[in-house]
Structure 1
Amino acid sequence: MGDRWHIEVDRSLCIGSGMCAGAAPDGFRLDGARQAHPVGAEAEASEAVLEAAESCPVEAIAIRLVGSGQPVFPPDD
Structure 2
Amino acid sequence: MKELYAEDADFAEAWKACKAPWSMDRTPYLDFHIQEGFLFKNQQLCIPRSSLRLNLVRELHGGGLGGHFGVDKQRW
Asked if TM exceeds 0.5, the reply is no
- Which has the larger helix fraction? 2
TM-score norm. by structure 1 comes to 0.28
Q: Give the number of the structure with larger relative contact order, counting CA–CA contacts within 8 Å between residues 6 or more apart.
A: 1
TM-score norm. by structure 2 comes to 0.28
